[in-house]
Amino acid sequence: MKPLNIGCLSSGKHATKNIIPMIINHEEFNLVLVHARDLNKLKDSLITARIFEESSDDFDLNKITCYEDDIYLNKNIDVVYISSPNALHFDQILKCLENNKHVIVEKTALTSINQFEQVKRLAFEKQLIVTEAFMYKFHNQLLKLKEEIEKIGIEEIRRIFVNFHIPHLEKNNIRYKKDLGGGALLDVGAYTLNILKEIGIAEPELIQSQIENDSNDLDIGGIATLKYKNILITCNWGFGITYKNSIEIITGDKIIFADRIFSKPKDLKTNILTYSNGNIINQNEIDPEDHFSKMFSNLFQDIKKLKFHKSIDQIEYQLKLIESIKNNETLY
């Protein structure tokens, strides 16, 4: 299968720092077009990311457009990467699907089950992939964690604690704009829920949830207690809290702990620690790797094999949990 032509909707910091440079060098993708509202800002961002030198003639302005429709209507584009504010995702995904393009979209992909049903219907009708860009799923740290869980057996697990909180960002960050789909639950909170399905928590029951809002009625943190079989699960997320992203799995005689499970630089060596009675009894070191590139290689294979259910079922699982937490309702 020849490389897929890809277009990028949005040119924010994450896209220009991590995604666009990777796509440019990816053997399975060919970057066709990038949408940017501000051409000069995009160029400056790419220079900062060291894609182009300021004096370089390699900066191809023909690959940049100020018009979203140039992405949708370009018949040479096979797949679109979306990294816009959450509130824009639904309309952008539909337009991509209507124009026969696969989609990889930053989390959170959608903001309601009603949106999901419309997207799923059109994606299946058109036989197109819609997947969420959770890069942590493709790092060997998570793969090794799943191996450790398989060794002990999920029936032996008694508690799971998942955390993702970050210090406050600059005030104009889109995460603080409620009308653009901001808020902690749809950002860092989504990770703490997404990983549950990855490690085998099929149908968790929500016991209780609490959301913390700021003076502008924006959710800036929360905690959810869930239950799956005999396992009690606590998911904790928030803005304005010292940085932490981790998962801790507790059995009758062991604790398995993975730090930086969700977010890590490509050059960071990670590990998985196993404790018993306060002592480290095993330490698995995981070498650095480019999980962004692996995520796109997985997308390439999903498109090649047309794995519709694999990609879209995860979105539904997470979205049902999010809506349940918002309403503090029992899910299953």
- Report pLDDT for 46: 63
The pLDDT value given to residue 50: 54
Question: Residue 58, class by beta-carbon neighbours within 10 Å (0-12 exposed, 13-18 middle, 19+ buried)?
Answer: exposed
Give the Cα separation of 70 and 85 in Å (integer): 19
Measure the CA–CA gap between 52 and 44, rounded to whole angstroms.
Answer: 9
Q: How far is the C-alpha of 182 from the C-alpha of 170, rounded, in Å?
A: 13
Phi, psi of 178 (to 5 degrees): -60, -40
Domain annotation for the chain: domains and CATH numbers: 4-133+293-306 (3.40.50.720), 136-289 (3.30.360.10)
pLDDT of residue 329: 58
Q: How many whole angstroms from its chain centre is CA 66?
A: 26
| Structure confidence at residue 210 (pLDDT) | 94
Full-model pTM: 0.93
> Which residues of the chain carry a pLDDT beneath 70?
11, 38-61, 308-309, 329-332
Contacts of 256 (CB under 8 A, 6+ apart): 145, 148, 149, 152, 248, 249, 250, 272, 273, 274, 275
pLDDT of residue 311: 76
